[in-house]
Chains A and B, each alone.
Chain A
Amino acid sequence: MLKHKVLSIIGVVALIAVMSILPFFVREYYVEILIIFLINVILAVSYRLIATTGDWTLCHVILMGAGAYASALMAKYFGWPFFMTAPLAGATVCLVGLGIVYPLLRTVGFGFFITSLAVGEFIRLSWIKFHIPFGGPRGMIDIPEVGIIGPIDFYEAIPYYFMTLAITLVCLFILYRIDRSRIGKAFKSIYEDDILAESIGINVGRYRTFAFVIGSFFAGIAGALLAHRLGAIDPHIFALDEMVYLLVWVIVGGSATFAGPIIGVAVMTLLFEWTRPLLEWRPLFFGIILIGFLIFMPGGLESLIPKFTRLFGNRKAAQAKAEQPGGAEKSVV
């Protein structure tokens, strides 16, 4: 157990080290890709947090959009700096999430999935319909950049990358702590058996709300990071196809463990870049991947990890584990 913990810590540190030197070895275009990758990681991991309660939504990308619009509006009309608008965008999306989760709570499972699509589209259509302040179908342009803070110009890709990396790590740390905490366990217990959870004192409605609102907050942060990098946003960026990509990431990576969605985003981003020449074929290609995973590997790529550790891990541990249940059975009852 302890050995496992040490190995994971070494793995995480190594990963952070790689992420810290990577931008210096690739072309600027790929640094931009890495920035989007990190934003997508926040999006996918916060999506999984909501999904641990069993609530799969179709409006998470819209919530990211709400964060993008909120941050862009605050920066553009009030002139507030990014480090103020980003958390405020998160808070705004919390409120949006709180508002839309109430009707959603009356549904479960597939009903929740479809209702969240409807509620999300309602929000997106309001961006299209209201030219003031959202800019209608053309969206918002000239969103202020993060600008120059001290000696660092965040217009440059590499500084923006490191800022995004730092924010991503903080977000992931908080999300991880929630996942491992008593609260995260309560979320998962709702997915396992909501009636049992309620009967032992877990207020299912409150915890589903809580998961949704926390997920919304981080989607908002991701949106703010996106808006200030792109400089322009429009309702189309947050359309349903983006949501489908998010689903592909989480399903390909797997949603049972914290690392699953991160693996999913990483693998699919690579595939996305490699298939750039096959532009028109891409939706077909991704559709096949999605169906293939749902049928042949419903646990996602993360479900391979225990298989590998069993293959290469020490045999002794595996043996001890195999003997344990049989030995215990005799001693009880």
Chain B
Amino acid sequence: MAMFEVRSLCKNFGGLAAISQLNLEVDEGEIRGVIGPNGAGKTTLFNVICGVYKPTKGKIAYQGKEISGLKSSQIAERGVVRTFQRTALFHHFTVLDNVLVARHLQARGGFFRTIFGTNRRIDIEQEKKALEIIDFMGLSDLKDELADNLPHGHQRALGIAVALASEPKLLMLDEPVTGMDPTETQHMTGLIKKIRDERAMTILLVEHDMKVVMGICDKISVLNFGKKLAEGLPKQILENPDVIEAYLGGEDVVALLG
């Protein structure tokens, strides 16, 4: 059985069907790309999965258990964590504090013990773990810097570090390379692969940069007007006439990718 499953999911905003009858199955260890033109419902899909919106109809199951209708924090507790299209960070925290806050789920230890500092061992452990994640994302030298002062590329990396710190099993990345130059994009693409390979995660990726999507996704689902248009290996998607028609207005995708 698939690790993550979406069954006949519908989300309506008033009369508008942002997502209708969507099915999705993601296997463990997979990098799944979700693409589609603007307004296809990609970000809505993320918001529904993460509990920001309640689904109008349908079911979302993670490891066989239903998660639709839970709060975002409860879904995160079960191991499904997302990043944001906007640069969502705790802007006035240092890099280290950003990641430490996200260690929250792992650092349980009783109210009184937390307050009176008899939890030193846990604190040290958490800090070690946070530093390890910061190092993994290549931010070690900036750990005491305020998140707000980082350059854009590093802020995006920190956004992912924050998500990683809550130790998800399914990581959902919403346009991770938005606004990056080619070098930064390449670096980030490498990092996403590394996250899957070294941290044993399943990744759901929404992205507009076709090069990135084609380069790292094992499988791609194409959305259009809230419905699934096609699904398959990157190569199959590139050759699918429906996708070419809907997504790229009939132009030759391969030529467009250069």
Residues on A facing B (Cβ under 8 Å) = 174, 177-178, 181-183, 185-186, 188-189, 192-193, 195-205, 324-325, 327-329, 331-333
Instruction: List the A residue with the shortest CB-CB distance to B164.
Output: A200
7 contacts between A and B (CB under 8 A): A174-B115, A195-B72, A198-B76, A200-B81, A200-B162, A332-B154, A333-B153
Q: Are the C-beta atoms of B115 and A183 separated by less than 8 Å?
A: yes
A200 touches B105 (CB 8 A): yes
Q: Write out the residue numbers on chain B whose beta carbons fall within 8 Å of the beta carbon of A327.
A: 141
With contact pairs A182-B114, A195-B52 given, residues A201 and B142 touching in the complex (Cβ less than 8 Å): no
* Chain A residues, Cβ within 8 Å of B141: 324, 327-328, 331-332
| A327 CB → nearest B CB, Å | 7
B residues sitting closer than 8 Å to A (CB atoms) are 50, 52, 71-74, 76-77, 81-82, 84, 88-93, 97, 100-102, 104-105, 107, 111, 114-117, 123, 126, 138-139, 141-142, 144-145, 149, 151, 153-154, 162-163, 165-166, 183-184, 187
Chain B residue numbers with a CB within 8 Å of A333 are 138, 153-154, 183-184, 187
- In-complex Cβ contact of A192 among B82, B90, B117, B126 (8 A): B90
Count of A-B residue pairs with CB < 8 Å: 108
Chain B residues whose CB sits within 8 angstroms of the CB of A201 once the complex forms = 73, 76-77, 81, 102, 104-105, 166
Known: A188-B90, A192-B92, A200-B166. 15 other contacts (CB 8 A): A177-B116, A181-B115, A192-B93, A198-B71, A198-B73, A198-B76, A199-B82, A200-B165, A201-B166, A202-B104, A324-B144, A328-B142, A329-B151, A332-B141, A333-B138
Chain A residue at minimum C-beta to C-beta distance from B153: A333
Option from B71, B77, B89, B139 in Cβ contact (under 8 Å) with A193: B89
Give Cα A193 to B102, complex, Å: 12
Interface of A (DSSP majority class) = helix
Q: How far does the Cβ of A206 sit from chain B's closest Cβ, in whole Å?
A: 8
Interface SS, B side: helix
Contact check, B105 vs A177: say whether CB atoms are below 8 A apart: no
Q: Are B81 and A189 in contact (CB under 8 A)?
A: no
**A330 nearest in chain B by CB position:** B141
The smallest beta-carbon distance between B161 and chain A, in angstroms, is 11
Question: Once bound together, how far apart are the Cα atoms of A251 and B77, in whole Å?
Answer: 37
Partner of B50, one of A185, A193, A199, A332: A199
Report the bound CA distance from A201 to B139 in whole Å: 23
Instruction: Please measure, in the bound complex, the distance between the C-alpha atom of A199 and the C-alpha atom of B141, giving whole angstroms.
Output: 26
Residue of B77, B141, B153, B183 with highest tally of chain A CB at under 10 A: B141
B residues near A203, Cβ cutoff 8 Å: 71, 73-74
A196 contacts B88, C-beta separation under 8 Å: yes
CA distance A189 to B147 in the complex (A): 13
Contacts A193-B89, A195-B88: A182 and B71 contacting too (C-beta < 8 A)?
A: no
What 5 pairs across the A-B complex have the smallest Cβ distances? A328-B141, A201-B76, A201-B105, A192-B90, A198-B72
Shortest beta-carbon distance, B183 to chain A, in Å? 7
Complex Cα–Cα for A200 and B89 (A)? 11
Instruction: Report whether A181 and B114 are in contact in the complex, using a CB–CB cutoff of 8 Å.
Output: yes
Q: Which residues of A contact B107 (CB under 8 A)?
A: 182
Kindly list chain A residues whose C-beta atoms are within 8 Å of the C-beta of B82: 199
Distance, CA A202 to CA B165, complexed state (A): 13
Chain B min CB distance to A250 (Å):
18
**Contact call B138/A200, Cβ cutoff below 8 A:** no
CB neighbours (8 Å) of A193 from chain B are: 88-91
